[in-house]
Chain A
Amino acid sequence: MALNDLALYVILPALVIAILLVLIRLASGPTVTDRVIALDLLTTLGIGVIAVYAIATDQPVFLDVAVVLALIAFLGTVAFAYYLEKRD
């Protein structure tokens, strides 16, 4: 099916390249805060990848993972921000 091919050969590679770009920032970010931002964006991109993969394989079950990931991402970011503010 054409939509499968689009998702698997165009959309997912583009998202993987985006994730690799974010990983560059995660590795090189000058401060901890930059790394937290990179992690936040990484989970957001992860939600996108899961949604595209669910479409590509025609399996709506995977979308439950997207729900959980959205919840965890927020908690993680807030916890990191709180830690950074109270650190010193």
Chain B
Amino acid sequence: MSEQTTELITAFLMIIGTFFMFVSAVGVVKMPDLFMRMSSSTKSATMGVTFVLLSAVVYFSDDFGSASRIVAVIVFVFITAPVAAHMIGRAGYFSGSELWHRTVVDELETRHDADRLPLRRALDAEDRINPDKISTGLYEQIQRSEEEKPSTSD
């Protein structure tokens, strides 16, 4: 690969990655509740940093040691970002973060006992045997929220 081609690809990947990272920063400032902020900070930032690191892989592709190290960082970020986001979201939910006032459905609400902080050992035995029960609860929740909400067709 000629030097100019390498630089062109590097610049292209770098610009894409920076765009996604910038969008995630804007999302963290502008989004209305914790979980939307988390969604923007996790997904978009992971994609952005992946593209920027890929541009570094292309740029340092002559030096195998550096390139493989950056690939390791990409893999590591891809593995850890969802885990970290899951843990923060869980902690935020149980430490009483408000949901946005127009949130349609809260799937955890029916399964979570606020008296005992730990997630009500998720599905108890009955629910595990009879999964219809959970989906019914969810369905009713959606129905209820649609009744409360004024019609959006107009």
Contacts and interface: CB of A to CB of B under 8 A. Distances in A.
Contacts of A32: 95
A38 B92 CA distance: 13
B-side binding surface: helix, strand, loop or mixed? helix
A8 to B, nearest CB: 12
A77 B14 CA distance: 26
A32 B96 CA distance: 11
Interface residues of B, number: 50
Contact of B69 (A15, A38, A52, A64): A64
Given A18-B25, A31-B92, 7 more contacts: A44-B77, A47-B49, A51-B52, A51-B70, A81-B90, A85-B95, A85-B117
Interface of B: 7, 10-11, 14-15, 17-18, 21-22, 24-26, 28-29, 34, 37-38, 41, 45-46, 48-49, 52-53, 55-56, 59-60, 63, 65-66, 69-70, 72-73, 76-77, 80-81, 83-84, 87-88, 90-92, 94-95, 97, 117
